Structure 1
Amino acid sequence: MVVDQSDVPLDQADEHQAQSEPLQMPYEHGCVIVREHANTFRVRHQRFPGRHWETNDLNTARMICDELNCE
């Protein structure tokens, strides 16, 4: 499952700090995979600063990065 969404600024700074920091995994050519929860991965790319893609599988997140790097 892949969800394409626009980024929304975080208003709850206190709530965000109470949670553990998400794991960020740099990928190739400006793509970053962020592990939000146990089965939630968010893909961000420097060429698309206002967008992110969510998936529940690390391999799918890597495939999204590969596709974004081909464009």
Structure 2
Amino acid sequence: MKEITASMAGTVLNVLVNVGDEVNSGQEVLMLESMKMEIPVESLESGKVADVKVAIGDFVNEGDVLLVLE
């Protein structure tokens, strides 16, 4: 299992993938909002989305797990 974590604190603006989706390294999987800026979160590895740990509107801290890939 590979975890995709938040690089900074912010609010989840949009989740761009669903459980079961295949993602590629470098693909945007989620959008965070921090200090009125939209920050894309990219997958660092390829894999299949096993779990989405957050929902739109959730506040996350740096290091929080956002998605799990298998």
Structure with the largest fraction of helix? 1
Structure with the largest fraction of strand? 2
Bigger relative CO (Cα 8 Å, ≥ 6 apart): 2
Question: Which has the higher Rg, Structure 1 or Structure 2?
Answer: 1
Give TM-score, length-normalised by structure 1.
0.32
Give TM-score, length-normalised by structure 2.
0.33
